Amino acid sequence: MNNTNNDSPGKGKVIIAGAGPGDAELITIKLQKRLAEADVIICDRLVNPDIITLNAKKGVLVLNAGKQGYNDASIPQDEINQLIVSHALQGHTVLRLKGGDVAFFSNVLDELYAITANEIPFEIIPGITAAAGASAYTGIPLTARGFAQGVQWITFNPSANYRPEKWKYLAATNDTLVFYMASKNVIHLAELLIRYMGKKDVGLAIVEQATTPHQKVNITTLKRCAVDFKDKQFSSPSLVIVGDVVNLYHQFKWFNGENDGSLFKELEK
């Protein structure tokens, strides 16, 4: 049933789409078209509302289905699944709009199970994930030649049972490490990496609200993380980047709270 043809009488269709990392212009042309077609938009907390305002058709029903880590008041996934299915079964075109990309650390699998169980036609539209947006808007190339052999995208929850083998593997790699949903526990994360890496001078960046006018870049090292970020609260969403590539920020930064592109404009002169 992975098609967009509405060939089931009485049934609508579901479009699962990534809205990108925050900048309202960082969406695909395909998503722009689907926004203009949707009868119902079920929207994540981190989606820039300007994306809907600028592109959705008049009279569209917008339902907020935001989820947030460490927040018990977030809408349960089962209720989101039911929203998607119930509106599609009424014959509506439902756009499930997710921040970033649909395949990176989202609950798309649960939603796909619910959609296919009800034999509802669907379509998936990718988006720019937070790591790609943060990399571009900070001038930190995640796989810069001579600095990293690759990149790993990881989540971090200190309550999870991570075995020592996992940390030994991460410590031994030359890859850039990008941690989603980790800024709240970044000091503990840095301590674990130091324990297994043996190196303390590795760069660490926390990028808050990447690609938006509120973007802020916080630079330190694993060693200084506990000092520099003690009692510091980071705005959501935030992304943690660890690796030698972080040092490139000072050379190529072009978009942040202190430098809104002026460096880039100077280079164009």
Burial of 101 per CB tally in 10 Å (0-12, 13-18, 19+): buried
User: Are the C-beta atoms of 24 and 51 separated by less than 8 Å?
Assistant: yes
- Rounded distance between C-alpha atoms, residue 172 and residue 165, angstroms: 11
Give the three-state DSSP class for 86.
helix
Residue of 44, 98, 101, 253 with catalytic role: 44
- Rounded distance between C-alpha atoms, residue 135 and residue 82, angstroms: 35
The Cβ of residue 159 has, within 10 Å, a number of other Cβ atoms equal to: 6
Q: Bridge partners of 242?
A: 177, 204
DSSP state letter for 40: E
Residue 168 appears among annotated catalytic residues: no
Give the three-state DSSP class for 192.
helix
Residue 184 appears among annotated catalytic residues: no
Give the three-state DSSP class for 180.
strand
Residue of 67, 166, 184, 223 with catalytic role: 67
Helical pair 77-89 and 108-117, crossing angle rounded to 10 deg? 40
Catalytic residues: 44, 67
